[in-house]
A and B are shown apart, each in its own frame.
Chain A
Amino acid sequence: METPLTRSIAPEKAPPDLAQYEKAGGYAALRKALRMAPGDVTAAVKEANLRGRGGAGFPTAQKWSFVPMGDDAPHPKYFICNADEMEPGTFKDRLLLEGDPHQLIEGMIVSAYAVQADVGYIFLRWAYKLAAQRLEQAIAEAYHRGYLGRNIAGSSYSLELHLHVSAGRYMCGEETALLNALEGKRANPRAKPPYPQVSGLWGKPTVVNNVETLCCVPHIVNKGAAWFKNLSRSGDGGTKLYGVSGRVKKPGLWELPMGTPIREILEEHAGGMRNGYRFRGLLPGGASTDFMIADHLDVAMDFDSMQAAGSRLGTGTMIILDDRTCPVGMLHNLEHFFAQESCGWCTPCWSGLSWVEQILKGLEDGKGEASDLERLQSHARLLSPGHTFCALAPGAAEPLQSGLKYFRDDFDRHIREKRCPWRS
């Protein structure tokens, strides 16, 4: 089984420096891409069926295809790597950032070349101190070697690359909010259209892609679309970093073929539940995905299969709910997070999420009433897509609506017994 993204990563060890990275075949994709027409790079990524690994699964080449090209295109164009990994339960990009920074940088240069971008930013979350250090070092090496700056590797293509370390807020992960953060503003989302590809950072054409997505690109250019598609067990190309946290025997992160079933990840890789704990449910791809239960364990972890099963692949890092953890308490924790991180821009989100949090707290404190469940249902509807400015509130509604569906008995017990049955 091939693991192109993590093959050079040895946790606990320093990442490959530029010389080591080149020796292992690094920057060959960049040299190859620079001999290709930019449109052919995009075509290869399209053919490979690469979909965005930040959670939404949007086809990467399609995202790029909206950028104006040719002599009349506005410049500078910007290319941004979204490394603001703040989705609760998600710890996959951190491995790629710390473990092989040159892989990301090469992916950025190749991708920026495809849309003929002039300036790149890596938007990194502040907590990833080690990643910041290693990226800075790698960027300096790449400049020194002529892979960044003017006339990259002797070509006519030039790219400047900057590292921006965020001052921290979940909202920054939303691509238009991220642009506002880079411009030195509050990270509120922007109205779409115009889409960033047309009018993004400082009003110029801008692409924002996730770390894991960009790390796939050099491998596609090197080895071809057919090879990339063959890595996968589903229609979506490539491998995927899957993670498991919660009360399993071996929590961790693994690069596996896209479309690996949940059960295989949970039992073979994470070792199953810890002794004395039973599986009750999981959030498959971070806090903003719908709960799944035992009935879903054979679903393949790819974008379409997860959607068909009523949830989302999201970031592919699952959080396990065990039988000794209160589902209502877990939902309270999740909705507390969303209420706190709401940017306050639109009312259904900031007001709605505060109500949801308060109702759930009431249930946990033994003050629940029968009407609370209807109120929560109605909030879940009002927070769903189409009612709010961006995807934060719909993301918060996903665990809420599915939690109400799958753990109804637990809610009822809180109301009936006027207490949280999990608290002694």
Chain B
Amino acid sequence: MLSEEEKQEIEAQSQHYPTTRALCIEALKIVQEHRGWVSDEGIADVAEALQMAAAELEGVATFYNMIFRKPVGRHVILLCDSVSCWIMGYDRLREHFRARLGIGLGETTADGCFTLLPNVCLGACDHAPAMMIDSTHYQDLDPDRLDEILAKYRMEEIREEKKEKRGPADGNTADP
């Protein structure tokens, strides 16, 4: 079942499209935003809400590059592998990720922190090589810069963990 939030967000998009069917890509994006990826259950939920055949929605979901039909890590690294970035050092970056994170393309680190995916041209060719992590663009990359960026994400992870251990900020730690 879609959550109330998901339903509301899909409903809000409906003003932009004259048919329910046309909403399906927005709906998949919304489900992914909430759940991290689109599972079989996610497909079934959206199909039911939009009154589409699940198989047909599956065809749509698997067509688009940014709908993830497999689980991804907390951060998705989208490394541009198109021609300008390839010329300017894509291979070196991919190997650096392998050395630092122990993962290749399409893989997720054991701690679930990063998924590394190849990506087509990000429109930053004059600052190649480039990548995105989640919604943030990074450009003019080299291995040193990658290390700095990864360290930043690691620091954030550690801060998040500490916050979780401390419990909610309002000090209310009583059992329900």
> A residues within 8 Å of B by Cβ?
85-91, 93-94, 125-129, 162-170, 181-187, 202, 243-247, 251-253, 283, 287, 317, 319-322, 325, 329-330, 333-334, 336-337, 340-341, 343
Contact = CB atoms under 8 A, between A and B. Distances in A.
Contact of A90 (B16, B63, B123, B137): B123
Contact of A86 (B84, B121, B125): B121
A85 B123 CA distance: 8
B168 interface: no
Contacts of A170: 120
A120 to B, nearest CB: 11
A125 B18 CA distance: 21
B121 to A, nearest CB: 4
B122 interface: yes
Interface residues of B, number: 39
Given A127-B122, A168-B65, A183 B22 contact: yes
B25 A181 contact: yes
A162 B137 CA distance: 25
A243 B81 CA distance: 19
B84 A245 contact: yes
Contacts of B86: 329-330, 333
B21 A183 contact: yes
Interface in B110-156: 119-128, 132, 135, 137
A77 to B, nearest CB: 13
Interface of B: 16-19, 21-25, 28-29, 59-60, 63-67, 78, 81-84, 86-88, 119-128, 132, 135, 137
A35 to B, nearest CB: 30
B82 A88 contact: yes
Contacts of A253: 126
A206 to B, nearest CB: 13
A129 B135 CA distance: 7
B85 to A, nearest CB: 9
B43 to A, nearest CB: 14
Contacts of A329: 86
B84 A127 contact: no
A86 B120 contact: yes
Nearest to B61: A167
Contacts of B119: 127
Given A333-B83, A333-B86, 6 more contacts: A165-B29, A167-B64, A184-B60, A202-B18, A251-B126, A330-B87
Nearest 7 pairs of A and B residues by beta carbon = A167-B64, A245-B125, A88-B82, A168-B65, A251-B126, A245-B84, A168-B66
Contacts of B82: 88-89, 287, 333, 337
Contacts of B122: 127
A247 B87 contact: yes
A217 B75 CA distance: 41
Given A186-B63, A244-B126, A341-B120, A167 B29 contact: yes
Given A89-B84, A247-B87, A330-B86, A182 B22 contact: yes
Most chain A CB atoms below 10 A, which of B59, B66, B87: B87
Nearest to A320: B87
Contacts of B24: 184
A337 B126 contact: no
A305 B169 CA distance: 66
Most chain B CB atoms below 10 A, which of A167, A183, A320: A167
Given A88-B120, A167-B28, A247-B87, A184 B125 contact: no
B121 A89 contact: yes
A160 to B, nearest CB: 9
Contacts of B67: 167
Given A128-B123, A246-B88, A333-B83, A169 B64 contact: yes
Nearest to B126: A251
A87 B124 CA distance: 12
Nearest to A287: B83
A90 B120 CA distance: 11
B126 A243 contact: yes
A91 B124 CA distance: 6
A337 B84 contact: no
Nearest to A171: B63
